[in-house]
Structure 1
């Protein structure tokens, strides 16, 4: 584990002390699942299910907060099975999909979701001609139901195409009443008013959390980091963990702890579980 400062170590110790009443929030892609060229090929790390099950026994709750549709995250992460295992020990797994617009728990087993936002259909309809005009016709367009993501990972110049597309897609989204969420070679358009930070605040209130830890890897996790930092200012024991990568270093400067991708996240969670049980 690489703490960013002595303060990071102190925050870890403070979080461990309240772990039994704390919530652990985890991003999916890049945090629990390795990043892959095709989003449909992503799978949760094979050891994640057992790690999450052990972790849940040491904390108040475990939640996955992702930009993916909830149904997709459930399938790619075998989270139904994780939820079953947690249920046997009297715990509950929470899943928030599409940045919090969808909600599922291992108790309710039902995805609660709003209607698609106004403007999404017009945005989607305008995309093909815009991508052709910007020489990005090969970019992969992912329709998520409540959002549309444009992936540049599989085009010949992913970074250059991303930079070329971002301002144009921001304008197109703004005209349609949507907001843009840039990520690791992906640009997503969705409705305003919900983000991972709002999910963090909701969980703290609903679960009367005695502490909060969030682990993420990408710009889409920044709102969650900011919400956790604000809770820290209010006196709540918190910890911010960055699943580090050369591709997206932005979160590292805001984290208390930087680990090496999903493998590092799981190693950290094992240590946290052990320390919380023996504390």
Structure 2
């Protein structure tokens, strides 16, 4: 164990040995923002942490399958993560937009359905809402709208009162989503309006089925990752899968995520150290 990560359950304490015993049967999946990339005020300015990228690529070259499971759009995560040209990620699979978009680096195959028109409509209606609130004397300066193609993020991180505005926007944003047939997902100082109601648990299930994994890891930091964490624990109880949910904790945000985890890391730097510990154990078992 390290000062930058610690096991918080028996599963978490055993998981590195389980991976080292069966690396070819292991799936290592991770979110992007908050796990491999630091959380920033402007989501469009996010960039992968070099140490986390190096550690993730190192593990990816040693296990049966590595994957990213993210709410970001596919093009965005490929660019910001430098996924196309990083050695070690030649067999990476990306499940973007909660699994709606898929990229298989080994084959180059991209799967994605047509973009839904409701996202553009939602962006205009939320912009109108913000203009109305401003006219009523509510300071909405700094509220950001992020068009993800299949989702719209309404961010309050850069406002004078992130928590207060997030709560203030909840009902009117939910009403807009309901009217347009969109699903609302809460996150770090954001309401995300999504055209598809898929979850990270479903994306993880698809990966596990495709790769017949016997050991599975999910690294996450936000509320949407809890579905994947809980799914791993269900599979461990029902099918005997060796699992661990690994939480990346950044400045105490979303502490509820840690309550569902088996390992807690101190942000992307801690994730990098944990992944390197995994790679060290595999290489030591193989006698490298």
TM over 0.5: yes
Which segment drifts farther, 61-70 or 184-193?
A: 184-193
Map of 1:121-140 to 2, 5 A cutoff?
Answer: 121-134=120-133, 135=138, 136=140, 138-140=142-144
Q: Contact (CA 8 Å) 1:104, 1:111: kept in 2 or not?
A: yes
| Residue 52 (structure 1) shift | 2.2
Moved over 6 A (4+): none
Task: Describe the superposition over 1:182-214 as per-residue Cα deviations: whole angstroms up to 9, x where unpaired.
Answer: 111111111234221111000111111111100
* Aligned residue in 2 for 1:95: 94
* Aligned residue in 2 for 1:222: 226
Which segment drifts farther, 200-209 or 227-236?
A: 227-236
Task: Describe the superposition over 1:254-278 as per-residue Cα deviations: whole angstroms up to 9, x where unpaired.
Answer: 0001010000000000001111232
* Aligned residue in 1 for 2:103: 104
Structure 1 residues 7 and 70: alpha-carbon distance in aligned structure 2, compared to 1, 3 A threshold: closer
Is it true that 1:236 corresponds to 2:235 in the alignment?
no
**TM, length-normalised to structure 2:** 0.89
| Residue 225 (structure 1) shift | 1.3
* Aligned residue in 2 for 1:161: 165
Map of 1:109-258 to 2, 5 A cutoff?
Answer: 109-117=108-116, 119-134=118-133, 135=138, 136=140, 138-233=142-237, 234-245=239-250, 246-258=252-264
* Aligned residue in 1 for 2:55: 51
Is it true that 1:72 corresponds to 2:76 in the alignment?
yes
Q: Contact (CA 8 Å) 2:69, 2:96: kept in 1 or not?
A: yes
Q: What is the CA–CA distance in structure 2 between the aligned matches of 1:155 and 1:270, rounded to whole Å?
A: 37
Q: Contact (CA 8 Å) 2:16, 2:281: kept in 1 or not?
A: no
* Aligned residue in 2 for 1:8: 12
Which segment drifts farther, 266-275 or 5-14?
A: 5-14
CA RMSD of aligned residues (A): 1.8
| Residue 47 (structure 1) shift | 2.1
Task: Describe the superposition over 1:211-249 as per-residue Cα deviations: whole angstroms up to 9, x where unpaired.
Answer: 110000001212211221222122111110000131221
Structure 1 residues 121 and 53: alpha-carbon distance in aligned structure 2, compared to 1, 3 A threshold: closer
Q: What is the CA–CA distance in structure 1 between the aligned matches of 2:265 and 2:32, rounded to whole Å?
A: 15
Q: Please state whether the residue corresponding to 1:67 is helix, strand or coil.
A: coil
Q: What is the CA–CA distance in structure 2 between the aligned matches of 1:165 and 1:197, rounded to whole Å?
A: 27
Which segment drifts farther, 196-205 or 17-26?
A: 17-26
Q: What is the CA–CA distance in structure 2 between the aligned matches of 1:126 and 1:180, rounded to whole Å?
A: 15
| Residue 152 (structure 1) shift | 0.7
Q: What is the CA–CA distance in structure 2 between the aligned matches of 1:110 and 1:208, rounded to whole Å?
A: 20
Structure 2 stretches lacking a partner, 5+ long: none
Is it true that 1:272 corresponds to 2:282 in the alignment?
no
Structure 1 residues 167 and 226: alpha-carbon distance in aligned structure 2, compared to 1, 3 A threshold: farther
| Residue 59 (structure 1) shift | 0.9
| Residue 111 (structure 1) shift | 2.9
Q: Please state whether the residue corresponding to 2:253 is helix, strand or coil.
A: coil
| Residue 101 (structure 1) shift | 1.1
| Residue 106 (structure 1) shift | 1.2
Structure 1 residues 236 and 85: alpha-carbon distance in aligned structure 2, compared to 1, 3 A threshold: closer
Q: Number of residues paired by the alignment?
A: 274
Q: What is the CA–CA distance in structure 2 between the aligned matches of 1:47 and 1:56, rounded to whole Å?
A: 14
